Amino acid sequence: MKILVIGGGGREHAIAWRLAREPGVTVWASPGNPGIARSATCLAPPRPGVDGYLQVAESVQPDLTVVGPEAPLVAGITDAFQGRGFRVLGPERKAAQLEASKIFAKQVMAEAAIPTAAYRVTQTFDQAMECIREFSYPLVLKADGLAAGKGVVIAHDQPEAERAVRALHSALGPRIVIEEFLHGEEASFIVLSDGAKVIPLEASQDHKTIRENDEGPNTGGMGAYCDGRILTPAQTAEILDRVIHPAIHYMSARGTPFTGFLYAGLMVTPQGVKVLEFNVRLGDPETQSLLHRIQGGFANALYAAASGNLAGVDLDWKTGPSVCVVLASAGYPEQPRIGDPISGIQEAEDSGAVVFHAGTRLGPAGLETSGGRVLGVTASGGDLRQAIDNAYRGVSAIHFEGMQFRKDIGRKGLKRW
Ligand code: AMP
Ligand code: GLY
């Protein structure tokens, strides 16, 4: 089976790496990156946007296309590929609104009775200013559209909320969701859906801020771990029953069935599990830790989901937790510096870790940084302590100037259990 992976970050490296290990699968990627090139044939799209990817597909003629990032999904890549007869895994444009519009996601949650933070939608500057006077603090402000992690502000008092309204309005437009701040433990719960049936993946946890102990500005994710204890069986059942199945049924009933990976960003609160956000794709860096633990059945499951036929399909999981530590460039997240030479990846892999590439490129002198999040060093272990040690052993072999990473990935789990 020929599979084309769309994207070129750490998540797509993990997808391509896993698929390349499945019997009978050859992997192509567009645009890919130097790490993905070890598992797949990488093709740069001849022009930007969905049309460029369509041209790649016309030349590769894949049996299945798997779309990694949200931007092409929101731009309608699935609709376009299906229109040309290609089998593709990922929601159609209308279903991708679950991630593209926070207001739409909140409406779906309200209508499908999915537990989430209490909220108000504001459409103008004056409405937003009035609303922040009425809410209690802290409160959370979210721009409506895609904002690559920069559209959410937690405000602790009214002056901070006013500054946030001004900043969000000028950068991202007037439509914002203002919502109650939820206390609890975050978890990422992702399912593979064929439009009606789902296969849940193991729960994982992202580490959003740049520094240890959840301090500093938010990033795209500085690391993740995956451990069967992040959610209890009762919590998993509650999430399937109250979040996932209602969302899938609702999307299907309104004529925009959801096919692909549905990601629920959750807060586990004393009052039960509540949804912070939906994403319409696998998480990054959650995927790196998740796919390190899958040992078979991945290509088959993706093909079955894209064909609307997940009945009887299973994934084969390794027992034992996994950890992904992200190595970020100097200046990330504000102003990532690029062009720093990278060394030690081979040594890290010799130590047993898998190093997924996110922001790397080949320069005249070899591999160098090309983005904010550069590498995801990933390892499993018999228990969480071992998985953490194995990942950080890999990290210690790698060097580039200004390299930043958190030293506490997975440590919350060690404290909890
Ligand atoms: P989102 O993009 O909606 O997931 O928000 C990004 C991050 O902001 C989340 O991962 C949480 O850490 C935090 N966050 C979002 N909404 C809330 C909320 N209602 N209460 C507390 N924290 C939140
Ligand atoms: N790790 C969070 C995300 O992928 O949105």
pLDDT digits (tens, 9 = 90+) for 61-102: 999 999 999 999 999 999 999 999 999 999 999 999 999 999
pLDDT digits (tens, 9 = 90+) for 99-144: 999 999 999 999 999 999 999 999 999 999 999 999 999 999 999 9
Ligand 2 neighbours, Cβ below 6 Å, are: 206, 221, 279, 283-284, 286
Q: pLDDT at position 195, please?
A: 98
Ligand 1 centroid vs 333 CA: distance in angstroms?
A: 18
Instruction: Please give the backbone phi and psi of residue 288, each rounded to the nearest 5 degrees, phi first.
Output: -60, -40
Ligand 1 centroid vs 135 CA: distance in angstroms?
A: 17
Q: pLDDT at position 151, please?
A: 86
How far apart, in whole angstroms, are the C-alpha atoms of residue 317 and residue 326? Answer: 23
Residue located nearest, by CA, to atom 3 of ligand 2: 283
Residue 142 Cα: closest atom of ligand 1: 3
Ligand 1 centroid vs 357 CA: distance in angstroms?
A: 26
Amino acid residing at 348:
A
Residue located nearest, by CA, to atom 1 of ligand 1: 277
Residue located nearest, by CA, to atom 5 of ligand 2: 283
CA torsion angle for 144, 145, 151, 154 (degrees, to 10)? 20
Residue 149 Cα: closest atom of ligand 2: 5
Using alpha carbons, list the distances in angstroms from residue 258 to 89, 99, 193, 207, 297: 10, 12, 7, 27, 21
Q: pLDDT at position 322, please?
A: 98
Ligand 2 centroid vs 218 CA: distance in angstroms?
A: 11
Cα radius of gyration (the chain): 21
Residue 206 Cα: closest atom of ligand 2: 1
pTM of structure: 0.97
How far apart, in whole angstroms, are the C-alpha atoms of residue 73 and residue 91? Answer: 7
Ligand 1 centroid vs 181 CA: distance in angstroms?
A: 8
How far apart, in whole angstroms, are the C-alpha atoms of residue 409 and residue 210? Answer: 11
* Residue 353 C-alpha from the chain's centroid: 21
How far apart, in whole angstroms, are the C-alpha atoms of residue 236 and residue 294? Answer: 19
Q: pLDDT at position 147, please?
A: 82
Ligand 1 neighbours, Cβ below 6 Å, are: 117, 140, 142, 152, 179-182, 186, 208, 265, 276-277
Ligand 2 centroid vs 283 CA: distance in angstroms?
A: 4
At 164, list the tokens: 């946030």
How far apart, in whole angstroms, are the C-alpha atoms of residue 204 and residue 283? Answer: 10
Residue located nearest, by CA, to atom 4 of ligand 2: 283
Residues in the chain, pLDDT under 70: 149
How far apart, in whole angstroms, are the C-alpha atoms of residue 409 and residue 48? Answer: 35
**How many CA within 13 A on the CB side of residue 170?**
5
At 61, list the tokens: 């003629």
- Ligand approaching nearest to the C-alpha of 263: 2
Tokens 């210690």 sit at which residue?
396
Ligand 1 centroid vs 140 CA: distance in angstroms?
A: 7
- Ligand approaching nearest to the C-alpha of 185: 1
Instruction: Please give the backbone phi and psi of residue 270, each rounded to the nearest 5 degrees, phi first.
Output: -60, -20
Residue located nearest, by CA, to atom 5 of ligand 1: 152
How far apart, in whole angstroms, are the C-alpha atoms of residue 354 and residue 285? Answer: 13
Domains of the chain: 2-90 (3.40.50.20), 118-180 (3.30.1490.20), 184-317 (3.30.470.20), 322-416 (3.90.600.10)
Ligand 2 centroid vs 236 CA: distance in angstroms?
A: 20
Residue 117 Cα: closest atom of ligand 1: 19
Give which of 86, 126, 120 is closest to 103, Cα–Cα: 120
How far apart, in whole angstroms, are the C-alpha atoms of residue 65 and residue 81? Answer: 9
**In testing the pocket of ligand 1, which one of 70, 146, 154 has its CB within 8 Å of the most ligand atoms?**
154
Ligand 1 centroid vs 208 CA: distance in angstroms?
A: 10
**In testing the pocket of ligand 2, which one of 74, 201, 279 has its CB within 8 Å of the most ligand atoms?**
279
Ligand 1 centroid vs 4 CA: distance in angstroms?
A: 32
CB contact burial 278-307 (16+ within 10 A = b; e otherwise): bbbbbbbbbbbbbbbbbebbbbbbbbbbbe
Ligand 1 centroid vs 206 CA: distance in angstroms?
A: 12
